[in-house]
A and B are shown apart, each in its own frame.
Chain A
């Protein structure tokens, strides 16, 4: 009966949990203080060599990534400015609460963690939880000052995602009326001498027929000296998105994405393609939160579409601090 009541989110069971939590957490706090030296000693004995190796590896990685971080931060800022300019939602516009991980699931069968922020901080069930690398899970239970987070590897976890593919590689058109190239990357052209227009305003017309679009006269800003090529991708080169559902498979197996439509336009999916949340009015997470990259594509016969195995961007085994996005889909928001 209790199971049935709890599965139906009975407020009585929630109240009982809350009362028990109020009584139990002081005891747990004392136990944590007393047992911490034992735990530290255990880690010292069992993880010393691993920590040394990990430390040196991390130092190398930090050195490598310092430069990349600066460039990435600039790109993110630029991207958010562009999204804001076009009135599109960005993660920067969503309030978030930083929380500390205070415990893992005491059982070995479910992949959950406990964080030290709860309803008092505005956290609600279903909100997405991230760390610096990407999505790690979602809130499944909320108490006054703590919450449970179901990790992305839990077999019960699922969320709609999109796979961003670069489509089929075909032809690029290079404007300035000079040449067309047939590679998938922008080919810098030789500097054009004696072109006075290049310093003021260049008026060009795209002539590549794009399905669904009408060719228009495009006015481009002044081109700096030395830069003479602007690349407009053809329709087939634009990013193509397909939605699917990611589902956890336990801590030892990679999560998989199902329900990917095997459309021709989407082309074949390759390993390394990023997986981000799909967003939408019913999704529990906003769009474009990074989850990971495709590590393997399992082709299936019939109309089932491919099954994608995902390498999660976030490291779930050593979580210390996480960020809860105070995001609720429009369909979940209560009207004032």
Chain B
């Protein structure tokens, strides 16, 4: 059986492919859904700070390699976002479904803000405009809608399996 990190890379490849195809084309209100971000957030919420950060770093690096932004920028932002999402488990060890949805909304907003900050820090142009609010709202809504499915995917991907004796 493949280790959970191997599974993670393979699953992330598929999620990344969905990000660059389906979610890149279905743009409600002109905003692309961020399923890589959602995957990282779900990982953080279910598996804690360190796992969230590692998943974020790997997902971000893969994302960086297919977009034109500097490599490493996505790693930093998604890594920090994963760690931020992991704080949920620190404060609320017992899963409460509605609290998870609220957390996904909040961390989605924070993740998008991290991306903006990181872009500004490396000198990429960032235009502060009202459209950003629309981006935050659409990304958060899509993430909440798809989160039940992604909780299942991340749980399957990252859970440790007992070796057959």
Contact = CB atoms under 8 A, between A and B. Distances in A.
A251 B17 CA distance: 25
A102 B23 CA distance: 14
Contact of B17 (A1, A17, A30, A107): A30
Given A1-B72, A105-B67, A108-B135, A39 B26 contact: yes
A148 B64 CA distance: 13
Interface string B97-116: 00000000000000000011
B122 A3 contact: yes
A156 B68 contact: no
B17 A28 contact: yes
Contacts of A21: 65-66
A6 interface: yes
Contacts of B21: 28, 31-32, 35, 39, 103
B158 interface: no
A154 interface: yes
A27 to B, nearest CB: 5
Contacts of A3: 70-73, 76, 122
A17 B119 contact: no
Interface residues of B, number: 45
B145 interface: no
A103 B131 CA distance: 21
B13 interface: yes
A2 interface: yes
Interface string A283-303: 000000000000000000000
A248 B125 CA distance: 9
Contacts of B139: 108
Contact of B68 (A13, A20, A141, A249): A141
B14 to A, nearest CB: 7
A190 to B, nearest CB: 59
Given A13-B71, A24-B65, A109-B119, A156 B76 contact: no
A233 interface: no
A20 B127 contact: no
Contact of A2 (B30, B72, B115): B72
Given A31-B22, A107-B115, A16 B131 contact: no
Given A17-B65, A31-B18, A154 B125 contact: yes
Of the listed residues A35, A103, A154, the one surrounded by the most CB atoms of chain B closer than 10 A to its CB is A35
Interface in B23-42: 23-26, 28, 30-32, 34
Contacts of A7: 70, 122
B144 interface: no
Interface in A1-33: 1-7, 13, 16-17, 20-21, 23-24, 27-28, 30-32
A253 interface: yes
A42 B26 contact: yes
B87 interface: no
Given A20-B62, A27-B14, A31-B14, A6 B71 contact: yes
B77 to A, nearest CB: 10
Nearest to B17: A31
B32 to A, nearest CB: 5
B47 to A, nearest CB: 24
A104 B65 contact: no
Contacts of A42: 25-26
Of the listed residues A21, A104, A108, A110, the one surrounded by the most CB atoms of chain B closer than 10 A to its CB is A108
Contact of A106 (B24, B70, B72): B24
B19 interface: yes
A112 interface: yes
B69 interface: yes
Interface of B: 13-14, 16-26, 28, 30-32, 34, 61-73, 75-76, 115-116, 119, 122, 124-127, 129, 131, 135, 139
Closest 7 CB pairs of A and B: A155-B125, A2-B72, A31-B17, A3-B72, A35-B22, A250-B127, A20-B65
